[in-house]
């Protein structure tokens, strides 16, 4: 039994029973306030709605034979170069509008195997200051501007809270290799309003991505926050517009070739799922060498020319300039070059997109 002294001691330490390792807490702006501040126009809303329908028709319908192309920087880290990239890729999208449906890769969150910069939303100033409200505001502003340009946007969803701030501007969403086996992310995908691609895990196994699709197509309950910033329990309807993204693996190696595409298609067929896959030309499919994305693109182009019915599109990591750079305190960054994964430059991007467009034009029917 505790005596009075013990009870007094317990009372004085009660606050230390929780948040023992929390050093600081900052309030987040509510999604509703940010959505009112950076609102959708009628034109921007139409851009997103029509783009989502187009992706679904390409991926799961029969009337649209174009390829979906998710192309752009590995991650957004600086807004002026992102806007310049958007302006240039918009022109290319117009040029190949009959063959390709181009969506700009607009990634604001970065998963890390150990540590590192976690993305523009979390740390927009690139200095560990973590001004997340600034990151949310500027990310949403960029997505609004892309929609106003008539340019669809794609992103990866990592944090479970972020979708409430930006998802209304997103045409296509990704659940990455490190989170495809995460049950919370599968539940999140089941409630997202856009088509979602699940990448195979880092080791290259396909089954977890297929399991993720099966899970996300069903209704789930999961906790989150409402647009007003209130904690809530959501029931989802399930997302039937989900598919596999082949990105290679540390154990399997690249998986963009016809043999791997057929193996993935067979596994989807056995699971009674649509036999449709997207090819990520970067990551393990390029052996983390940005210049080798061309090899994957050439393989996809050949399969498309041969009439493959299973490939719905590709992902290409591309920026204004080739390669990557490190963040060095006190040293300015090179404009238009990635600070995460290395990317191909814009000239090479145009050449790769031309290859894909030609393949669609010359597809065997």
DSSP per-residue letters across 247-310: --BTTTB---SHHHHHHHHHHHHHTT----EEEE-SGGGTTT-GGGHHHHHHHHHHHHHTT-SS
Q: What is the pLDDT of residue 228?
A: 96
* DSSP 8-state symbol, 189: H
In a domain, 176, yes or no: yes
In a domain, 13, yes or no: no
In a domain, 21, yes or no: no
At residue 93's C-alpha, the angle toward residues 92 and 98, to 5°, is: 115
pTM of the model: 0.94
In a domain, 123, yes or no: yes
Task: Specify whether the CB–CB gap between 70 and 172 falls below 8 A.
Answer: yes
Q: What is the pLDDT of residue 114?
A: 72
Phi, psi of 160 (to 5 degrees): -75, -15
In a domain, 17, yes or no: no
Q: What residue numbers bound the domain in which 238 lies?
A: 27-361
Q: What is the pLDDT of residue 19?
A: 87
In a domain, 93, yes or no: yes
Q: What is the pLDDT of residue 231?
A: 94
Dihedral sign from CA coordinates of 132, 325, 102, 172: negative
State how many domains the chain has: 1
Q: What is the pLDDT of residue 8?
A: 53
Q: What is the pLDDT of residue 2?
A: 53
CA 117, CA 295: separation in Å to the nearest integer?
Answer: 29
In a domain, 336, yes or no: yes
Task: Specify whether the CB–CB gap between 86 and 316 falls below 8 A.
Answer: no
* Ranges in the chain, pLDDT < 70: 1-15, 113, 365
CATH of the domain at 47: 3.20.20.70
Task: Specify whether the CB–CB gap between 191 and 239 falls below 8 A.
Answer: yes
In a domain, 299, yes or no: yes
């Amino acid at each position: 039994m505790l005596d009075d002294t013990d009870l007094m001691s317990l009372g004085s330490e009660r606050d230390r029973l929780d948040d023992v390792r929390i050093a600081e807490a900052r309030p987040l702006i509510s999604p509703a306030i940010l959505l009112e501040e950076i609102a959708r126009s009628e034109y921007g809303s139409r851009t997103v709605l029509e783009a989502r329908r187009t992706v679904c028709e390409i991926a799961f319908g029969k009337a649209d034979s174009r390829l979906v192309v998710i192309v752009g920087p590995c991650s957004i880290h600086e807004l002026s170069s992102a806007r310049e990239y958007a302006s240039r890729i918009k022109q290319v999208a117009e040029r190949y509008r009959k063959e390709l449906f181009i969506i700009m890769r607009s990634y604001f969150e970065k998963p890390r195997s150990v540590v590192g910069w976690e993305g523009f939303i979390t740390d927009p100033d690139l200095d560990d200051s973590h001004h997340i409200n600034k990151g949310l505001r500027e990310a949403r502003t960029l997505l609004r501007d892309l929609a106003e340009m008539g340019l669809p946007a794609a992103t990866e969803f990592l944090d479970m809270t972020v979708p409430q701030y930006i998802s209304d501007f997103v045409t296509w969403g990704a659940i990455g290799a490190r989170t495809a086996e995460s049950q919370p992310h599968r539940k999140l995908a089941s409630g997202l309003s856009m088509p979602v691609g699940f990448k195979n895990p880092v080791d290259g196994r396909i089954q977890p991505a297929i399991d993720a699709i099966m899970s996300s197509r069903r209704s789930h309950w999961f906790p989150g926050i409402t647009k007003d910033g209130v904690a809530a329990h959501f029931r989802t309807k399930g997302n039937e517009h989900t598919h596999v993204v082949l990105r290679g693996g540390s154990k399997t190696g690249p998986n963009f070739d016809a043999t791997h595409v057929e193996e993935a298609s067979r596994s989807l067929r056995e699971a009674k799922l649509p036999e449709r896959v997207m090819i990520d030309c970067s990551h393990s499919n390029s052996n983390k060498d940005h210049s080798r994305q061309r090899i994957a693109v050439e393989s996809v182009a050949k399969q498309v020319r041969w009439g493959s019915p299973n490939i719905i599109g590709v992902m290409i990591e591309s920026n204004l300039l080739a390669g990557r750079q490190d963040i060095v305190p006190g040293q300015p960054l090179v404009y238009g070059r990635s600070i995460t994964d290395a990317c191909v430059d814009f000239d090479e991007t145009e050449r790769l997109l031309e290859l894909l467009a030609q393949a669609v034009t010359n597809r065997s029917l």
